[in-house]
Structure 1
C-alpha cells in the first residue's frame, strides 16, 4: 500500500496538470509566432502537411516537458 500514498498521487496530479498547461501554452506561443492561423489551417482547410509538422512539434514539446518534470 505504500505505492498508493496520497502524497505521491497528489504530486503526480500536480505535475500532470503543470505539464499539460506548459504544453498548451507552448502551442499558443507557436501559433502566435507563425504568420498564419494554425488552427484555421488545421481544422477548416484540413492541411495534412501542416498537421504532420504540428504533430511532430507537439511530440517534441511534450517530450521536453516530461523530461523536465521527471
Structure 2
C-alpha cells in the first residue's frame, strides 16, 4: 500500500474523478438555484439570510455525499 497512489494512472484518475465530482456539484447547485423562486446568492450575501444559508449548506453537503458515493462505487 506504500506509494501506490503516486502512480500516474492512479493519480490522474483521482484528479479526473475529483474534477467530475466538483463539476456535478456545481451544476446541481446552479439547477437548484434556478428552480427556487428567488436568488439564493443574493438572499444569503446581500440580505444576510442565515436560515437560508444553513439550508443551502445542508443541501450542499447532501449533494456532495451523493456525488462522492456515485464516484466511489
TM-score with structure 2 length normalisation? 0.92
Gap runs ≥5 in structure 1: none
Aligned length: 70
In 2, distance between residues paired with 1:3 and 1:41?
42
TM-score with structure 1 length normalisation? 0.96
Q: Which runs of 4+ in 1 moved over 4 A?
A: none
Q: 1:42 aligns with which of 41, 44, 55?
A: 44
Which structure's relative contact order is higher, taking Cα pairs within 8 Å and 6+ residues apart? 1
Gap runs ≥5 in structure 2: none
